[in-house]
Structure 1
Amino acid sequence: MVPEEKWPVLLGHEQVLIWLRMLDDLGRAPRTLDAYTRGLAEFLSACDRDGVDPLTATRADIAGYVRELRQRPSRRGGNVVALDSGAGLANATIQQRLVPVRLFYDFLVEEGLRQANPVGRGRHTPNRGRGGSERGLVPRLRTLPWIPSDDQWNAILLVTSKERIRNRLMLALGYDAALRREELCSLRTDDLDPAHRTLRVRAETTKNRRERVVPYSAPTGVLLSQYLAHRATLSRARGPLFLSESRRNPGQPLTLWTWSKVVHRIAQDAGVPGFSTHTTRHLCLTDLARMGWELHAIATFAGHRNTDSTLDYIHLSGRDLADKLSRGMKHIHAWRVEHLTAADTGLAP
Structure 2
Amino acid sequence: MTETFDRYLSYLKETDASTHTLSGYRKDLQAFARWYGETCGEELEPEKITSIDLREYQSWMRNVRNLKPNTVNRRMKALKSWLSWCVKEGLAPRLPDFPRGVPEARGAPEALDRAEVNRLLREVEKEGNARDAALVRLMLSCGLRVSEAVSLRLEDVDIGERRGVITVRSGKGGKYREVPVPPAARKALREWLAVRGKKHPRSPWLFPGVADEKHLTPGAAWRVVKKYAWKARIPDLHPHTLRHTCATNMLRAGANLVEVASVLGHARLDTTAVYTKPSMAELARAAERGEV
Is the shorter-chain TM-score for this pair beyond 0.5, marking a shared fold? yes
Query: Match of 1:199?
Result: 166
Cα pair 1:52 1:61 within 8 Å, conserved: no
Q: Kindly tell me: are residues 289 and 102 of structure 1, through their superposed partners in 2, closer, same or farther at Cα, counting changes over 3 Å?
A: farther
Q: Helix, strand or coil: the match of 1:182?
A: helix
> What is the Cα deviation at residue 150 of structure 1?
1.9
52-61 or 158-167, larger mean C-alpha shift: 52-61
**Shift, 1:291, TM fit:** 2.2
Structure holding more helix per residue: 2
Question: Does the 8 A contact of 1:286 with 1:316 survive in 2?
Answer: no
Report the alpha carbon displacement of residue 183 of structure 1 after superposing the two structures with TM: 0.3
Q: Tell me the amino acid that sits aligned with residue 81 of structure 2.
A: P
CA offset at residue 170 of structure 1?
A: 0.9
Who is 2:78 aligned against?
Answer: 97
Paired residues of 2:108 and 2:275 also in contact (CA < 8 A): yes
Change in Cα spacing, 1:304 to 1:103, as seen in structure 2 (3 Å) is farther
Is residue 179–residue 281 contact of structure 1 (8 Å, CA) maintained in 2?
A: yes
Matched, 1:259 2:221: yes
TM-score using structure 1 length: 0.60
The corresponding residue for 2:126 is 162
**Residue of structure 2 in register with 1:298 after alignment:** 260
Is 1:229 aligned with 2:194?
yes
Match of 1:18 in 2: none
Secondary structure in 2 matching 1:274: coil
For residue 220 of structure 2, give the secondary structure of its aligned residue in structure 1. helix
Aligned with residue 104 of structure 2, among 140, 146, 164: 140
In structure 1, what is the Cα distance between the partners aligned to 2:8 and 2:85?
18
Specify the SS of the correspondent of 1:236: coil
**Higher RCO (CA 8 Å, separation ≥ 6 residues):** 2
- Contact 1:290 1:316 survives alignment (8 Å): no
* One-letter identity of the residue aligned with 1:100: S
- Structure 2, unmatched stretches of 5+, are none
Q: Scaled by the length of structure 2, what TM-score is found?
A: 0.70
Q: Which among 210, 213, 223 is matched to residue 175 of structure 2?
A: 210
CA contact (8 A) 1:102 1:120 kept: no
2:46–2:83 CA contact under 8 A, matched in 1? no
1:40-51 alignment to 2 at 5 Å? 42=29, 46=33, 50-51=42-43
Post-superposition shift, 1:93?
2.8
| Distance in 2 between residues matched to 1:102 and 1:250, nearest whole Å | 35
CA contact (8 A) 2:150 2:218 kept: yes
1:6–1:202: structure 2 CA closer, same or farther, 3 Å change rule? farther
> Partners of 1:149 and 1:5 in 2: how far apart?
39
Unmatched 5+ stretches in structure 1: 11-29, 71-82, 108-112, 122-135, 330-349
1:9-55 deviation digits (Å, cap 9, x = unpaired)? 99xxxxxxxxxxxxxxxxxxx679xx9xx979959x93996445544
For residue 249 of structure 2, what is the aligned residue in structure 1? 287
Q: Which residue does 1:62 correspond to in 2?
A: 54
- Cα distance in 1 for partners of 2:119, 2:194 equals 28
Distance 1:58 1:286, change over 3 A: same
Q: For residues 153-189 of structure 1, what are the alpha-carbon distances to aligned partners after superposition, in whole Å with 9 as ceiling and x for unaligned?
A: 2211221112311111111111221101100111111
The question of 1:175 aligning with 2:135 is answered: no
Secondary structure of residue in 2 paired with 1:263: helix
% identical aligned pairs: 26
Cα 1:52/1:275, change in 2 over 3 Å: closer
CA RMSD of aligned residues (A): 4.4
> What is the rounded CA distance, in whole Å, between the counterparts of 2:255 and 2:168 in structure 1?
21
Which residue number corresponds to residue 115 of structure 2?
A: 151
Structure 1 segments, 4+ long, off by >6 Å, are 38-41, 67-70, 101-107, 318-325
In structure 2, give the amino acid aligned to 1:159: E
Bigger Rg, which one: 1
Per-residue deviation, 1:243: 2.7
